[in-house]
Amino acid sequence: MVELADRGDSAGAEAEASALDLEIAIVGGGVAGSYCAWRLLEDDPKRRVGLFELSSRIGGRLFSRNLPGMPNVVAELGGMRYIPEAQRLIGGVIDHLGLASRAFLRGVDNPDGDGNNLFFLRRKHMRMRDLAEEAADRYHMEWHERGKTPDEILEYMTKTYIPDGEGMGIAEQAERLVFGQPLYSHGFWNLLYRVLSSEAYAFVRDAGGYDTSVANGNAASSLQVDQFHDGVRYRTLVGGMDQLPRSLAAGFAETAKREQGRESLFTGHRLLRFERCPEGAPRRYRLLFACEGGDGERVVYADRLILAMPRRGLELLDQGNFFFSHPWVQVHLRSVIKQAAFKLFLGYDRPWWRGLGLVAGHSVTDLPVRQTFYFPTEGEEEGADPSNTNSLLMASYGDDASAAFWKAFEGGAPFTGESNPFLGEGEDPLDARDVGQVTETMVGAIQGLLRQVHGLREIPRPYTAAFQDWGTDPHGAAWHAWKAGFRYWEVMKRMRKPLDPSWSTADEICPDEQIHICGEAYSNVQSWVEGALQTAEHVLCDHLGLARPSWLDPDYDLGP
């Protein structure tokens, strides 16, 4: 590969002359990359670490915004919650950083809890508390499937066909024979269709709110998922979930500046490729970044590289180098499914849904809306103007096919928004920074669907809107799922350092490369921040020699 300095252009020579010299280069400013950078300098403030992010913001798939006219209500365009009882790594770091958290929507100021919320399935309106009984009128399930919620149907299926799975380790359960084959070799959709009626499958998919929850991922991994049942209580960060990676990255950058007198956080840097340095060079790897806004290129030398990126981000790098051309990496980079999702937020001048008894939580439909979440009213928030009744609705939260539905509405005439008495002087009702362009046809379509879901003849026109499509580059997915046929509990371990002599076998002599991959995609808790943090913590402790943090419960299992 031609070196920059050999190209004969001044830009290349300038980039080489100003190259950064680091011990560890971290690529990806989402929660995994920010956490790695922060932990490394917490452990040793003199360690030379650089954190590089493609976009202009830190956060990755955590992306929190305050829509115009609602400065105290957060629109979570990405990840929006966590489970403190089950996810103690994220809970521990939030407490350690002193970030304020609160309950996430469920039952807030609602004496009926979420039971009052709606299901609109096959043209029938049902309250959440009545779902199990009333769904039998629309879904012609077998007698033993009726009268159950989607969670209860899946629990029945598991206990019937995998009766001895409870209490097993991940590997033991995944290798348990089901219909003569190991559980991990089954696609989840395939398995569900072998044990449920087609109507029960449709009910679980429709009423569950997520197409991907019953999609054809690895059945063993899918059966571990128990995150959305009625007993789970979620929390969120008061200032938005992206406060976590932003706080981590800021703490890292401040430490580097104070202890080393240098800049360490670089946004607007797109990694083009990396390569080995020649034998005898001071550092092991040479990285080439393109800088945002045509500001040229940046060369970085480092002894170790952490790629804190999802599958699509990794695929967008030069695949022809020594790392991505390795046979194991080529195969197992594709061991996860990329799952798209779409969020559309609308801001109204009043919470029109409350007349229906809808205060918090969400309603679910089989229409392309899929899930509608009822967020707070501005004037009810601490420190807000009590006369401000502007209210936030996540009008659509859809994945898979329902996410694709909204593609046709992109690119049309932009939604203009409406005047609102609580907009600041000169404030635009549509602050479109870093988000997709909402169109008039998109708003018209969602308004029509919302009227159907709520059984109303008319609803107010929103004054502001924002949407995010996570299926586009560079993320390529909102979350990931393991593919059927992969021994994922082994793959996720190796993915954290794919090329290491310890992986050598009679058929493969593995080189020793100090390159690591971490993040939600190749984790045991996919679709959650916890998965990203667990893989990052494994990289730090298992491969970089850091001790387990003192603020983390010593008995908490970080997974395979």
Paired with 373 in beta bridges are 362, 394
Reduced to 3 states (helix: H, G, I; strand: E, B; else coil), residue 269 is strand
Q: Pick from 194, 279, 225: which is nearest to 482 by CA?
A: 225
Phi, psi of 449 (to 5 degrees): -70, -40
Among the four given CATH numbers 3.40.50.300, 3.40.920.10, 3.30.465.10, 3.90.660.10, the one describing domain 64-80+100-110+341-469 = 3.90.660.10
Q: What is the pLDDT averaged over residues 245-265?
A: 97
pLDDT at position 14 over 70: no
Q: How far apart, in whole angstroms, are the C-alpha atoms of residue 346 and residue 11?
A: 45
Q: Pick from 396, 357, 58: which is nearest to 210 by CA?
A: 396
Phi, psi of 152 (to 5 degrees): -70, -35
pLDDT at 410: 85
Write the pLDDT tens digit of every residue in 519-530.
Answer: 999 999 999 999
Is residue 239 within 8 A of residue 73, CB to CB? The reply is no
Ranges assigned E (strand) in 320-379: 336-339, 341-348, 362-365, 371-377
- Residue 367 vs residues 206, 467, 507, 556: alpha-carbon distances, Å: 9, 18, 51, 40
11 Cβ neighbours under 8 A, 6+ residues apart: 296, 297
- Using a pLDDT cut of 70, give the percent of the chain over it: 93
pLDDT at position 112 over 80: no
Domain ranges of the chain: 4-60+242-337+480-543, 64-80+100-110+341-469, 142-222
Ranges assigned E (strand) in 208-284: 235-237, 265-266, 269-276
Is residue 58 within 8 A of residue 34, CB to CB? The reply is yes
pLDDT band at 226 (very low <50, low <70, confident <90, very high): low
pLDDT at position 296 over 80: yes
Q: How far apart, in whole angstroms, are the C-alpha atoms of residue 239 and residue 396?
A: 22
Reduced to 3 states (helix: H, G, I; strand: E, B; else coil), residue 341 is strand
State the Rg of the chain over Cα.
25
Write the pLDDT tens digit of every residue in 129-182.
Answer: 999 999 999 999 999 999 999 999 998 888 887 777 667 788 998 999 999 999
For tokens 């209500």, name the residue: 73
Q: How far apart, in whole angstroms, are the C-alpha atoms of residue 446 and residue 395?
A: 7
pLDDT at 1: 34
Q: What is the pLDDT averaged over residues 13-21?
A: 78
pLDDT at 156: 86
pLDDT at 435: 73
Neighbour count for residue 383 (Cβ, 10 Å): 6
Domain 4-60+242-337+480-543 sits in CATH at 3.50.50.60
pLDDT at 11: 58
